[in-house]
């Protein structure tokens, strides 16, 4: 199992050194970008038959660590990230990086990095961290990076591999989860989790700071909103992952709802709900605790009666106002979200691939 732990860097002296190393990373990025741009222009003039590949860039950077104060593996990691982004966005070359345009980022591989007690080491330099939790005893560090946020605070993220989790304590339990806006998660056992609306809580303070053009205060408020939402979701998903061995969740996407919302009345709430974050947290926590996570298709789960399976429920964006409805065939009375969660649980049990993934004891979609 592969996990990532994140720690905050302590003293200001470390920040100055890390900022300098981040400048070297930007230099390597811009150099690779210039190679890619020059190669693209040559290719357009038909001076080259093929574009510069990742392997070509790798060979061109051999020995560059002597001129740039960075580990050789870090330089290669920068090049790999550049090529990956270039190919993902399908562009011949990318934007240039500078201290003002880009936040600090210093990638590293396990060969160049060490952690001991409350200190981490890179290039024979030590950086103190706030160590709120220790790495597992069998952790094998694979890679990581130093990162700077928009407030100038530095963090180190360490990706490591550890042994598989043990069997879940609740070996039989399963739950279906319907994602929403007001009740961010509705469980098939009729439990509802009302989200903390962080955006509405701080919107007045944020608007005041924006009118006054106080950039640093704006950044602090935005970070407060993000951390409040993240803390709430961490606690909620941990409770669910501990309680249920198997978790089924609908495959709803924020963008799909936003595209269908003509009047844009739901856009703010959908963005603040953070469905993608919830899925990611549930997925890795289920695996860590020895459970299972499955994302299933939730088509017609709101319309379908969970008793007689007839499609008599409210439909579309216009039907969101209908929270309770009666089935026309079996006369069962339904709470909209609970009915949907029950249907998601049923679909999860009926999905053929669930048994195959269960035998491998791993998370799947």
pLDDT tens digits, one per residue of 312-329: 888 866 677 788 888 888
Residue 122's contacts (CB-CB under 8 Å, 6 or more residues apart) are 21, 71, 106, 108, 112, 113, 146
Residues 200 and 347 in one domain: yes
- Rounded alpha-carbon distances, angstroms, from residue 231 to 52, 200, 238, 239, 257: 44, 16, 11, 13, 25
Residues 150 and 11 in one domain: yes
Is residue 166 in some structural domain?
Answer: no
List the structure tokens of 143. 């890679």
Torsion angle of the four alpha carbons 41, 46, 47, 49, in this order, in degrees rounded to the nearest 10: 100
List the structure tokens of 296. 């299933």
Its domain, for residue 119, covers: 2-161
Is residue 331 in some structural domain?
Answer: yes
Residues 207 and 296 in one domain: yes
Residue 308's contacts (CB-CB under 8 Å, 6 or more residues apart) are 327, 329, 330, 332
Is residue 151 in some structural domain?
Answer: yes
Predicted pLDDT at 98: 86
Residues 254 and 307 in one domain: yes
List the structure tokens of 96. 């240039």
Residues 80 and 213 in one domain: no
Which residue, chain included where needed, has tokens 């999905």?
Answer: 351
Helical ranges in 244-335 per DSSP H:
254-260, 267-273, 275-288
Among 65, 54, 145, CA closest to 103: 145
CA gap 60, 38 in Å, rounded: 14
Predicted pLDDT at 263: 61
Q: Are 97 and 30 in contact (CB under 8 A)?
A: yes
Residues 125 and 203 in one domain: no
Residues 113 and 214 in one domain: no
Residue 131's contacts (CB-CB under 8 Å, 6 or more residues apart) are 7, 117, 118
Predicted pLDDT at 365: 36
Is residue 168 in some structural domain?
Answer: no
Last residue within a domain, chosen from 112, 128, 161: 161
Residues 199 and 148 in one domain: no
Predicted pLDDT at 224: 92
Residues 76 and 21 in one domain: yes
- At 351, which CATH number? 3.30.420
Residues 204 and 142 in one domain: no
The pTM is what?
A: 0.80
Residues 204 and 129 in one domain: no
Last residue within a domain, chosen from 135, 161, 187: 161
List the structure tokens of 150. 């928009």
State how many domains the chain has. Answer: 2
Predicted pLDDT at 124: 83
Is residue 169 in some structural domain?
Answer: no
Predicted pLDDT at 262: 61
List the structure tokens of 106. 């210093």
- Rounded alpha-carbon distances, angstroms, from residue 259 to 145, 266, 277: 35, 10, 20
* Sites in the chain below the pLDDT cut of 50: 354-365
- The secondary structure element, H or E, covering residue 361 is none
Is residue 167 in some structural domain?
Answer: no
Paired with 116 in beta bridges are: 119
Residues 181 and 153 in one domain: no
Last residue within a domain, chosen from 101, 127, 161: 161
């Amino acid at each position: 199992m592969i996990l990532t732990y994140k720690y905050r860097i302590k003293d200001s002296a470390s920040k100055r050194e890390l900022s300098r190393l981040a400048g070297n990373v930007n230099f390597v990025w811009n150099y690779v970008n210039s190679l890619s741009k020059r190669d693209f222009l040559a290719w357009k003039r038909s001076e080259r038959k093929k574009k510069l590949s990742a392997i070509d860039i790798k060979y061109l950077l051999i020995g560059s660590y002597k001129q740039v104060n960075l580990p050789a593996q870090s330089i290669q990691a920068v090049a790999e990230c550049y090529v990956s982004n270039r190919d993902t966005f399908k562009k011949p070359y990318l934007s240039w990086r500078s201290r003002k345009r880009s936040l600090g980022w210093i990638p590293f591989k396990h060969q160049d990095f060490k952690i001991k007690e409350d200190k981490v080491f890179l290039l024979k330099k030590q950086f103190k961290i706030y160590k709120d939790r220790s790495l597992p005893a069998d952790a094998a560090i694979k890679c990581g990076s130093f990162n700077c946020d928009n407030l100038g605070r530095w963090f180190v993220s360490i990706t490591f591999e550890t042994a598989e989790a043990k069997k879940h304590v609740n070996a039989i339990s399963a739950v279906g989860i319907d994602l929403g806006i007001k009740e961010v998660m509705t469980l098939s056992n009729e439990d509802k989790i009302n989200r903390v609306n962080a955006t509405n809580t701080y919107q007045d303070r944020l608007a005041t700071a924006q009118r006054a053009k106080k950039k640093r205060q704006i950044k602090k408020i935005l970070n407060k909103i993000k951390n409040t939402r993240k803390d709430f979701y961490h606690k909620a998903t941990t409770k669910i992952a501990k309680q249920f061995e198997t978790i089924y969740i609908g495959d709803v996407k924020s963008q799909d709802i936003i595209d269908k919302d003509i009047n844009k009345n739901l856009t703010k709430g959908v963005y603040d709900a953070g469905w993608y974050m919830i899925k990611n947290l549930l997925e890795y926590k289920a695996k860590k605790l020895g459970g299972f996570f499955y994302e299933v298709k939730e088509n017609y789960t709101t319309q379908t009666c969970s008793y007689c399976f007839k499609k008599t429920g409210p439909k579309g964006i216009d039907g969101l106002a209908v929270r309770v409805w009666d089935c026309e065939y079996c006369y069962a009375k339904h709470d909209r979200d609970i009915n949907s969660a029950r249907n998601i649980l049923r679909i999860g049990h009926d999905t053929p691939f669930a048994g195959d993934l269960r035998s491998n004891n791993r998370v799947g979609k």
